[in-house]
Amino acid sequence: MRDVAVIGTGMTKFGSLGRVTSRELVTAASIEAMKDAGIEPKDIDAVYIGQLSGDIFEHQMHAAPGIPDYLGLANVPATRVEAACASGGLSIMHAVMAVAGGFYDLVLAAGAEKMTNLPTAHVTEALSMCADDVFEVSLGVTFPGAFAMMARAHDKEYGTNAEMRAAVAVKNHEHALLNPKAQFQKQISIDKVLNSIMIADPLTLYDCSPITDGAAAAIVVPWEDRHKYEGIPVKVRSFAQASDTMSLHDRSDLTGFTTTKIAAQKAFRMANLEPKDIDILEIHDCFTIAEIMALEDMGFYKKGEGGRAALDGETRRDGHLPVNVSGGLKAKGHPIGATGVAQVVEIANQLRGKAGKRQVADVEIGMTQNLGGSGSTIVCHILERGD
Amino acid sequence: MRDVAVIGTGMTKFGSLGRVTSRELVTAASIEAMKDAGIEPKDIDAVYIGQLSGDIFEHQMHAAPGIPDYLGLANVPATRVEAACASGGLSIMHAVMAVAGGFYDLVLAAGAEKMTNLPTAHVTEALSMCADDVFEVSLGVTFPGAFAMMARAHDKEYGTNAEMRAAVAVKNHEHALLNPKAQFQKQISIDKVLNSIMIADPLTLYDCSPITDGAAAAIVVPWEDRHKYEGIPVKVRSFAQASDTMSLHDRSDLTGFTTTKIAAQKAFRMANLEPKDIDILEIHDCFTIAEIMALEDMGFYKKGEGGRAALDGETRRDGHLPVNVSGGLKAKGHPIGATGVAQVVEIANQLRGKAGKRQVADVEIGMTQNLGGSGSTIVCHILERGD
C-alpha cells in the first residue's frame, strides 16, 4: 500500500446559492483544487463524488460522469459513493484507497449537494430517508428527533445541559466569522441559542446545522509523487470507516456512537497515533450534541466531559484542542455530499498554512470525523503536515 | 496488486416480488452467496452495494449499512456506489479493488433494486434522471427515446434492421427458459417482437428490458486464499471502467459507445487477452440495439455485423459466442443495482460449472459489460475458471 498525499483543495462558498446545479458547483470546486495542485484536467486518472441525492434535490442521478464531462475530461472512471451525510468522507477515502492500492496516480475526490431548491420541510423529509425507513422513519422520526433523543439520554446519564450544547454553537459561529466561505457570518450568544425556537426538545434552532448548497474537492496523489506538483502536500496518515445498525432501538447506548469509537480507533491504529497527538479536529456537528458525543467517543474527552469542554472554551480556535475552526457544519453549512470533503479540505489547509485569517499556529496533525444517518456510517481521516 | 477470486455467488428470483424491501432481497442473495462460499457473516471485512435509488423506489437512502445490519454483522465498512444501471458493476469492481489493493481479505459485493412499487411511467421517469437532466431530460428525452435514436442511427449507417434487433430479444427469451430465476419464462418469436406495441420508434415493447425487483451478491477474496474456502473459485482477470459525456449531443457518433470500446480495451489489456479468447459474454441489453452495439464496440464483431450475428444465431447458447445465456436484462430482468452483479454471478457460475440447465460446455474465460445512462458509464470484467 502506497502512502498518499493531498496536494490541492477547492471549495465553493457554502450557502443558499440560487439557480445553479451541483454539477456546476463541483466543477468550480474542482477547478480551484486543480489550480491549487498545479495540475490540468488531463492529469486526472479517476474521479469520485460524494452526493446524497441528486434525484430528490435536482432531478439528476448518475452525478459522477457529469464531472469529467464539465471538466472537458474524456473517459476517466467516475464513481459516486453515498453513505448519507458521510458520503463526502467516503469520496475522499475511496480516492485515497485507489491511489494507495496503485490503481491510479492522480484522483479527484469531490462532494456536492444542492439542497435549497426545496422547502425546508421537504429537505428534512428527504434527509430522514437516511435513517431506517422500516422501523423509524415510517413512524415519524426525523433526524432532529433522533438527535434530540440522544441529547436527552446524554443529559440524563452525564448531566450535560443546554448551555453546554449552546457553547458548541456559539464557538462554531464565532469560528465561521473568519471563514469567508462559511454560510453564516453571524456571532450568536448562549442566550440566543437557548431562546431560539424549539425544533425537537431539547434541541433549538441553533443546535441544528442548516440546509446548504456547496461543493468541495481535493486532489490525491502518491506521497512519492508529491514534489512533481506545485501544490503543498499533506500526508494522509490513515483512513477508517465503520457501520452500525440503521435503527437506534438495536443499540445498547444512545449517548454515543460505537461506530465513532471503532472508526477513530482504527484511524489511530493505522497512523500509530493517539488522541494526544492530534492538534486540530473537524467534527460532524450536524447537531451540537453530535460534536460533544464525537469528542468523547474518539477519546479526546471522557464520557460526560465533552459538554463542559465546550463551555470552558477548550475546543475554541484559541483553546488547547481547536475543533471545527472552519465553522463546522453548524455555521460553515452542511451541503451533505460536500461535508466530508470540506472537512478534509479544512484540515489540509490548516496543516499547509493556507487557512487564511483562521489559521491555527503550529498544527502538525489533524483529524476528521464524518457521520452518516444516526451514526450508521462513520468515516475518519488523519492528516499530517507534509514536507 | 493481489490477484482476486470470486468464491461464492447468490441471486434472488428476479421479477415483480411484491411487498419486500431491497434490504430483504439483498440479505437473501448475500446469505446464498455466503453459503455457496462456505463462509459466515463474521468472515466479512467490508460490504459494497450497487443501488440506483432506494429513495425514489422505497423511501430509503443509505442502503449500505442496512446489509451488515440485517446479516447481524457489526460495524464493517459498508459503501453504496451508484452509476445508473452500471451501479452493480461498480460494486463488484470496488470489492475487487479493495481486495486487490490489500485493504480487506473478504468482501461482499451486492446489488439490489426494488422497482415495482411504482407505476411504470414513474419508473421510466425516475430512470430518465440518469441521463443529462439539463440538456436532455428537461426536454422530454427518456431512455427508450435515446436508444431509439441510436437504433435509427445504426440502421441508417449500417443497414441494421428490426428483424436483427428482434433476434436478440428472441434469443435472450429463449435463454431465460433455462433460468429458473429469470423474470420471464416465455418463448417469443420475431413476429411477436415486430408486432408488439411501439415504445419509441423503431423500438417495440420486446426491444426493451422490463421493470424488475431483485438482488445479487458475490464473495470476493484474494486469489491466494481461494482454497481456504469451500466455494469453487473463479479468477478475476481484469476490471475496467470508463465514462463519457452525459449528453448524446456532445458525442461524435450515435452508433456505438466510446466508453464500451475504452473499457473493453482496458479490460483486455489488463488481462492480456483478446476478444477471440472470450468463451461467453453477459452484455448490457437494456434495449436490443444495446447488445448489438456492445458486441461491435468490444471488438467481437465489426461495426454493422452485430445485428446479422444475432439473426444468424451466432450469439445463441449453442452458437460460437454465447451471449446473455442468463436471459440478459431483456428476459432475466433488470433490477438496476443488481444487474452488474448478476452478470458477474452468471459468468462465474458458468465458469464454475454451476449454471444448471443452461450450462455452456467448456467455457474457460467469460466477460461482462455493464452500462449506465446513455453509456456515460461502462464497467467490464473478465473472469477465468479457477483451479
Answer yes or no: is A345 within a domain.
no
What would the pLDDT profile of B181-239 be if each residue is shown by its tens digit? 999 999 999 999 999 999 999 999 999 999 999 999 999 999 999 999 999 999 999 99
What would the pLDDT profile of A54-94 be if each residue is shown by its tens digit? 999 999 999 999 999 999 987 999 999 999 999 999 999 99
pLDDT value of residue A362: 96
Q: Are A186 and A81 in contact (CB under 8 A)?
A: no
pLDDT value of residue A32: 98
The question of whether B334 is a catalytic residue gets the answer yes
Partner-chain contact A376 B65, CB within 8 Å: yes
The question of whether A286 is a catalytic residue gets the answer no
Number of domains in chain B: 2
Do A175 and A271 sit in the same domain of this protein? yes
Do A85 and A132 sit in the same domain of this protein? no
State the first-to-last Cα distance of chain A, in angstroms, to the nearest integer. 20
Strand extents, DSSP E, chain A: 4-11, 46-50, 78-82, 107-114, 198-200, 203-204, 213-222, 234-243, 280-283, 365-372, 377-385
Question: Helix, strand, coil % (nearest 5) of chain A?
Answer: 40, 20, 40
Do A217 and A246 sit in the same domain of this protein? no
Do A360 and A287 sit in the same domain of this protein? yes
At A164, which CATH number? 3.40.47.10
Dmax (CA) of chain B? 57
Do B175 and B307 sit in the same domain of this protein? yes
Partner-chain contact B79 A103, CB within 8 Å: no
Catalytic site residue from B94, B175, B334, B381: B334
Do A80 and A228 sit in the same domain of this protein? yes
Mean pLDDT calculated for residue range B285-297: 98
Q: Are B95 and B107 in contact (CB under 8 A)?
A: yes
Tell me the C-alpha distance between A196 and A145, whole Å.
17
Q: Is B53 on the interface with A (CB under 8 A)?
A: yes
Do B45 and B177 sit in the same domain of this protein? no
Residue B10 has which C-alpha cell? 447468490
What would the pLDDT profile of B141-172 be if each residue is shown by its tens digit? 999 999 999 999 999 999 999 999 999 999 99
Answer yes or no: is A342 within a domain.
no
CA B60 to the chain's CA centroid: 23
Partner-chain contact B81 A80, CB within 8 Å: yes
What would the pLDDT profile of B24-70 be if each residue is shown by its tens digit? 999 999 999 999 999 999 999 999 999 999 999 999 999 999 999 99
What would the pLDDT profile of A18-30 be if each residue is shown by its tens digit? 999 999 999 999 9
Q: Phi first, then psi: what are they for B333, rounded to 5°?
A: 110, 165
pLDDT value of residue B345: 98
Position B74 pLDDT exceeds 90: no
Q: Is A92 on the interface with B (CB under 8 A)?
A: no
Q: How confident is the model at residue A49 (pLDDT cuts 50, 70, 90)?
A: very high
What would the pLDDT profile of A198-247 be if each residue is shown by its tens digit? 999 999 999 999 999 999 999 999 999 999 999 999 999 999 999 999 99
Mean pLDDT calculated for residue range A93-113: 98
Tell me the C-alpha distance between A305 and A307, whole Å.
6
Position B338 pLDDT exceeds 90: yes
Mean pLDDT calculated for residue range A343-349: 98
Mean pLDDT calculated for residue range B82-102: 98
Do B32 and B169 sit in the same domain of this protein? no
Do B90 and B152 sit in the same domain of this protein? no
pLDDT value of residue B252: 93
Do A239 and A160 sit in the same domain of this protein? yes
pLDDT value of residue A319: 97
From chain B, the residues in CB contact with A69 under 8 A are 243-247, 250, 376
DSSP-assigned letters across all residues of A311-375: HTTTTSTTSSS-B-TT-HHHHH---HHHHHHHHHHHHHHHHTT--GGGPPTT--EEEEEEEETTT
pTM here is 0.98
Answer yes or no: is B54 within a domain.
yes
Do B80 and B19 sit in the same domain of this protein? yes
Domain of A200, in residue numbers: 127-209+235-330+350-385
Q: Using CB atoms, which residue from B74, B101, B130 is nearest to A102?
A: B101
Answer yes or no: is A337 within a domain.
no
Do A170 and A250 sit in the same domain of this protein? yes
Answer yes or no: is B343 within a domain.
no
Mean pLDDT calculated for residue range B276-281: 98
Partner-chain contact A97 B97, CB within 8 Å: yes
Q: Using CB atoms, which residue from A54, A65, A131 is nearest to B376?
A: A65
Position A105 pLDDT exceeds 90: yes
Mean pLDDT calculated for residue range A267-279: 98
Answer yes or no: is B340 within a domain.
no
The whole-chain average pLDDT of chain A stands at 97
Partner-chain contact A75 B242, CB within 8 Å: yes
What would the pLDDT profile of A363-381 be if each residue is shown by its tens digit? 999 999 999 999 999 999 9
